[in-house]
Amino acid sequence: MATGRATNPKNLVKGATGDWEIIVGMEIHAQVSSQAKLFSGASTAFGGAPNSHVSLVDAAMPGMLPVINEECVRQAIRTGLGLNAKINLKSIFDRKNYFYPDLPQGYQISQYKNPIVGEGEIVVDVSPTEQITVGVERLHLEQDAGKSLHDQHPTMSLVDLNRSGVALMEIVSRPDLRSAEEARAYVTKLRTILRYLGTCDGDMEKGNLRADVNVSVRRPGEPLGTRCEIKNVNSIRFIGQAVDVEARRQIAILEDGGAIDQETRLYDPAKGETRSMRNKEEAHDYRYFPDPDLLPLEFDDAYVETLRRDLPELPDAKKQRFIAQYGVTPYDGAVLVGERASADFFEEVASGRDGKTAANWVINEFFGRLNKEGKDIDTSPISAAQIGAIIDLLGKQVISGKIAKDLFEIVWTEGGDPAAIVEKRGMTQVTDTGAIEKVIDAVLAANPDKVAEAKAKPTMIGWFVGQVMKSSGGKANPQAVNQLLKAKLGIE
């Protein structure tokens, strides 16, 4: 399929015989955030005892029938709206027929020819300065399968149906991605949007977001090559690795004069390779047909409009607003909106304060510290109000920048009201010229050789500022120190 993207030389891969372009498309399976399953009243909770979150419907007992969960429909529509996609007012559930022990009905209820959501697009931030638009082909609702455990018994596999029937959204992209980096960025952005919407928690460790990655390679400008599908990649890092590894494998085959077999492969992160799923080699014939147990899924425009009206502000819009309203840089804006919680935290800090300063503090001090400690906003020991108070003390020149960082440390480890801490511990900035002069005089007296040097080389003043600040315990006002030093050293 032709796509609108022009070849970006940056993305070309050098092979032994020339340049290659990587083409990636993705099918993301996102678990819908809901209490109950797509067609039954059993719980979707993670980690229940074996076969506990299973109803007679999920176990496909004879005569059982599906009844659709309205929340899953609502979430799919909201997701479609978040992807700027066409919402189909009538869609059809089909059966995808195949035998597998964790597929109790012998078919998966899915949507084949008439999905609930049609074409849309996602603006993907490849880097803070590079954005690409990736086409979304469709989104449809389908059932998850159960789980087979293969390593618990010498000769048997164990089957647990707790996941069987949980609602998934399959989101299919156009083959618009051109590198591992873009593939990672696409999943990152899609995950962010889903989390903003609250339609999927994006928890890849629990398997609540999984990717099937379609990879092919071609010479720039040529038609698409044969693709391989890498199934069930479950982390963003592995998605990137899988794309690179698979592209290299295909390039090596093609440069060797070989051809690519269209097949399903698995990525093995331990070995850093993809391998063919041999048992699935047999050509699939899913025999899709409309599920006669279900009626067409229909709703009206008014319903869609109600959902549209109630959508939260999404990351792209939020970023634009942060730039306009708070004067943050596009880079900082992109970082701040990466998670809805981060964006909300920033807004609380920035409210009534200088936006750029707030962004600096939130990104550099706060996020830096969270990362270092492996914490997130929910488990942070410091609140937006506390960071705001520190910024206020700094702004009113009650404390210096250096002291502000010390203060952040104290609040982080001990908690408390920043203003009260400054007061109690005497951390207030010294602006009294007399006191500062005393310190300067002592420093100058102790370093006569440096004083002589400084007269010839005015940049030496920086060294003196440092010494004075150090002697004052960081509390001296740096501007005052600078001025007084200049006068005493006789530098203009």
Partner 1 sequence: MSELITLTLAEARDGLKAKKFSARELAQAHVDAVEKARALNAYVLETPDHALKQASRSDERLARGEGGPLEGLPLGIKDLFATEGVRTTACSNILRDFIPPYESTVSSQLWRDGAVMLGKLNNDEFAMGSSNETSAFGPVASPWRRPGANTYVENGKIVGEPLVPGGSSGGSAAAVAAHLCLAATATDTGGSIRQPAAFTGTVGIKPTYGRCSRWGVVAFASSLDQAGPIGKTVRDAAIMLRSMAGHDPKDTTSADLPVPDYEAAVGRPVKGMRIGIPKEYRLDGLNPEIDALWEKGVAWLKDAGAEIVEISLPHTKYALPAYYIVAPAECSSNLARYDGVRYGLRVPGKDIVDMYEKTRAAGFGREVKRRVMIGAYVLSAGYYDAYYLRAQKVRTLIKRDFETVFDQGVHAILTPATPSASFGIGEKLKADPVEMYLNDVFTVTVNMAGLPGVAVPAGLDAQGLPLGLQLIGRPFDEETLFSLGAVIERSAGRFPVADRWWEG
Partner 2 sequence: MSVDAATVKRVAHLARIAVSDEDVPKLQSELNAILAFVEQLSEVNVDGVEPMTSVLPMAMKKRQDVVTDGEIVEKIIANAPASQDNYFLVPKVIE
List contacts with partner 1 (CB under 8 A): 56, 59-68, 95, 97, 99, 101, 104-107, 157, 159, 285, 287-289, 291-295
Distance CA 173, CA 25 (A): 6
For the record, the structure tokens of 261 come out as: 């077999």
| CA dist 284 → 91, 96, 102, 161, 163 (Å) | 24, 10, 17, 23, 23
Is 27 in contact with 172 (CB distance < 8 Å)?
yes
Rounded to 5°, angle at Cα 153 from 147 and 154 = 130
Nearer to partner 1, 22 or 166 (CB): 166
Q: Which two tokens stand for residue 61?
A: 């007992």
Q: What angle do CA 191, 146, 183 make, to 5 degrees?
A: 25
CA torsion, points 193, 199, 203, 209, in degrees to nearest 10? Answer: -80
Query: Which of partner 2, partner 1, none does residue 129 bind (CB under 5 to 8 Å by kind)?
Result: none
Residues of this chain, 143-162, that bind partner 2 according to CB under 8 A: 148-150, 152-153, 155-161
Instruction: Out of 2, 6, 257, 285, point to the residue binding partner 2 (CB under 8 A).
Output: 285
Q: Which does 55 bind (CB under 5 to 8 A by kind): partner 1, partner 2, none?
A: partner 2
Contacting range for partner 2; rule: CB under 8 A; set: 70-78, 340-348, 392-400, 446-454: 70-78
Q: Among partner 1, partner 2, none, what binds residue 442 when CB lies within 5 to 8 Å by partner kind?
A: none
Which residue, 39 or 366, is less far from partner 2 as judged by CB? 39
Shortest reach from residue 175's CB to partner 1, in Å: 23
**Phi/psi at 104 (5° precision):** -60, -35
Q: How far is the CB of 264 from partner 2 (least distance, A)?
A: 11
Q: Which of 5, 25, 31, 55 binds partner 2 (CB under 8 A)?
A: 55
Q: Which of partner 2, partner 1, none is residue 304 near (CB under 5 to 8 Å by kind)?
A: none
CA 153 to chain CA mean position, Å: 38
Among partner 1, partner 2, none, what binds residue 344 when CB lies within 5 to 8 Å by partner kind? none
Q: How far apart are CA 93 and CA 68, in angstroms?
A: 10
Number of residues that bind partner 2 (CB under 8 A): 52
Q: Of these, 7, 17, 19, 70, which contacts partner 2 (CB under 8 A)?
A: 70
| Closer Cβ to partner 2, 112 or 412, answer by number | 112
Distance from C-alpha of 25 to C-alpha of 2, rounded to nearest angstrom: 13
Give the integer Cα–Cα distance in Å for 390 and 385: 9
- Name which of 107 and 322 has its Cβ closer to partner 1: 107
Any contact of residue 49 with partner 2 (CB under 8 A)?
Answer: yes
Choose between 277 and 304: whose C-beta lies nearer to partner 2. 277
DSSP symbols for 285-322: ----EE-TTS--EE--HHHHHHHHHTPPPPHHHHHHHH
Which residues in this chain contact partner 2 in the complex, by CB under 8 A?
34-36, 40-43, 49-59, 67-73, 92, 99-101, 148-150, 152-153, 155-161, 266, 277, 279, 285, 287, 290, 294-298
